[in-house]
Amino acid sequence: MRMRRPRTLVRLVLTTGLVASLATAAAGASAADPAPETGATKSDNITHLASVPMTGPLAGSVNTDIAFAGKKAYVGNYNGFQIYDIANPAKPTLISQVHCPGSQNDVSVYAGLLFLSTDSSRSDSSCQSVPQSATIKESWEGIKIFDVRDPANPKYIAAVETHCGSHTHTLVPDKRGKSVYVYNSSYFPRDTFPDCLPPGDKIDIVKVPLKEPAKAAVVASPVLFPDGGFPGSPTGTATSGCHDITAFPSKNIAAAACMGDGVLLDISKPEAPKVIDRVQDAANFAFWHGATFNGNGTKVVFQDELGGGGGAECTPEVGPNKGATAIFDIKKRKLVFQSYYKIARHQLDTENCVAHNGSLIPVPGRDIVVQAWYQGGFSVWDFTDSKRPKEIGFFDRPAIEPESFGGYWSVYYYNGAIYGTESVKAFDVFKIKDRRTDLANLVKLKELNVQTQPALWR
């Protein structure tokens, strides 16, 4: 999502202490029955299991990304984050909420730690901070770190400032198991931002010692675009940073979606990633937004967030190749374009709709993803044949009236269920029952950060 505002960053700030959380006693904190689906359209293989409305200090804001560990789901929100018990996917229960404003608040979870991206310029690193102009050098943006081993009582333990804030981040575990690296992505530098000056051609890498996370710090800021990257076009955004990076650690590779460029990285040395290959698509891609590998790291799909997430890009006028997902085979460490995929259900010109966050459905021998399309709902599609992707399931609620932003931000598969953040409404759960995806039920993960993909098969 590309909802931008002024931003900046300064020095490393460490904050320790208990962050107040709100228990599930709040009204509407759990859902025993699905929300009404009046007017929704869906395929027969999709069942809507549950919908938990936003409550407390997070209500009225925007739900963002999702991470999973064990039987818990961690949901980001522009006002903080929330933790759900998903032991019974049909009855998710809110465990706690943390009020800690700072867009987008994308989340990842690893070894009892939760990482939160702050990409709005704040007065300081605390959860009590207020917005402050990015033109003020002392303003703060970056990565916040919480101890969530007790999900009912998360503790804020550290903060690390990064260049240009933190729009999204990606975890790359140290192979020795002693640390985790956080690849930080952000963009849109300005001459008036003292800590976020152009050209914005680098990423920040934060190293977090697992036994002493309060010592987390930026250890490298490698330049990915020494030549400046994509210069921009009438329809495409010039590269001035990366929006999102997806790692495939077992193969020491990562796919970076960097505004005007799609990039394949070698991450065998986590503090010194190197560009292996780079592709551009001036004809059809406006904004390289995110990436998803297949189960063995031989393919990757990139999403184009045409219109920044707020545009109506699923209309006949826009067509099937813009605001879509592009499929690439990885051959001899090169990205080889195969085809585009986009939902065929045209949305109204009042509905924000474009390719957005999705995840692999782990079906052995197949390449299947579930993907969000904002007010276009979500789709389940198969790209086993890279040149002929096809949809095998979908869910689409009616347009929001009166016209406003909304729809599914992230939709991910985890251990037998599909979880989605309906941006301005709820945390939703679905089930897919289909012979083409049923084998995914046999794959059980201990945790899932979608931007850190495990190898599921060779």
**CATH code: domain of residue 245:** 2.130.10.10
Q: Which amino acid is at 436?
A: R
Determine what percent of the chain falls in helix, strand and coil, rounding each to the nearest 5.
5, 45, 55
Tens-place pLDDT, residues 205-226: 999 999 999 999 999 999 999 9
pLDDT score, position 38: 66
pTM, two decimal places = 0.93
Is the residue at 200 inside a domain?
yes
Number of domains in the chain: 1
DSSP 136-158: STT-EEEEEEEE-SSTTS-EEEE
Nearest CA among 180, 186, 161, 183 for reference residue 170: 183
Residue 458 lies in a domain: no
Cα gap 134→120, rounded to integer Å:
8
Average pLDDT, the chain: 92
Q: Is residue 264 part of a domain?
A: yes
pLDDT tens per residue, range 157-182: 999 999 999 999 999 999 999 999 99
Compute the distance between CA of residue 85 and CA of residue 359 in angstroms, rounded to an integer: 20
- List the one residue out of 50, 93, 59, 95 whose CA is nearest residue 77: 59
What's the pLDDT tens digit per position in 354-403?
999 999 999 999 999 999 999 999 999 999 999 999 999 999 999 999 99
pLDDT-above-70 percentage for the chain = 92
The pLDDT value given to residue 1: 65
Q: Is the pLDDT of residue 36 over 80?
A: no
Hey, which residues does 368 pair with through a beta bridge?
361, 382
Q: What is the CA radius of gyration of the chain?
A: 20
Q: Is residue 444 in a domain?
A: yes
What's the pLDDT at 385? Answer: 98
Residues 53/55/59/65 CA torsion (nearest 10 deg): -60
* pLDDT higher than threshold 70 for residue 8: no
Dig out the tokens for 99 from the structure.
Answer: 């009020």
8 lies in a domain? Answer: no
Q: Which of 117, 128, 112, 290 is nearest to 213 (CA)?
A: 112
Residue 162 domain flag? yes
Task: Look up tokens 């210069």; give the residue.
Answer: 231
**Residue of higher predicted confidence among 15 and 77:** 77
Question: Which tokens hold the place of 432?
Answer: 């897919």
pLDDT of residue 39: 81
Average pLDDT, stretch 232-252?
97
Confidence at 5, pLDDT banded by 50, 70, 90: very low
What pLDDT is attached to residue 37? 60
Q: Which of 150, 109, 145, 213 is nearest to 445 (CA)?
A: 109
Grade residue 2 by pLDDT with cuts at 50, 70 and 90. low
Residue 4 above 80 pLDDT?
Answer: no
Would you say 217 and 161 are in contact if contact means Cβ atoms under 8 Å apart? no
Is position 429 within any domain? yes
Q: Are 389 and 327 in contact (CB under 8 A)?
A: yes
* Residue 3 located in a structural domain: no
* Host H or E run for residue 74: strand 72-77
Per-residue pLDDT tens over the stretch 300-315? 999 999 999 999 999 9
Q: Is a pLDDT exceeding 60 seen at residue 7? A: no
What is the per-residue pLDDT for 85? 98
DSSP state of 348: P
- Whole-angstrom distance, CA of residue 147 vs CA of residue 158: 9
User: Domain limits at 365?
Assistant: 17-448
Cα–Cα distance measured from residue 165 to residue 147, given in angstroms and rounded to the nearest whole number: 21
Instruction: Report the pLDDT averaged over residues 26-49.
Output: 67
Which residues have a Cβ under 8 Å from the Cβ of 311 and sit 6 or more positions away? Answer: 323, 352, 353, 354
Q: What is the pLDDT of residue 439?
A: 97
For residues 174 and 255, what is the distance between their CA atoms, to the nearest angstrom? 18
CA separation for the pair 146, 125 (Å, rounded): 13
Tokens of 110: 């690893």
DSSP letter assigned to residue 50: E
β-strand pairing of 426-432 with 417-422: antiparallel
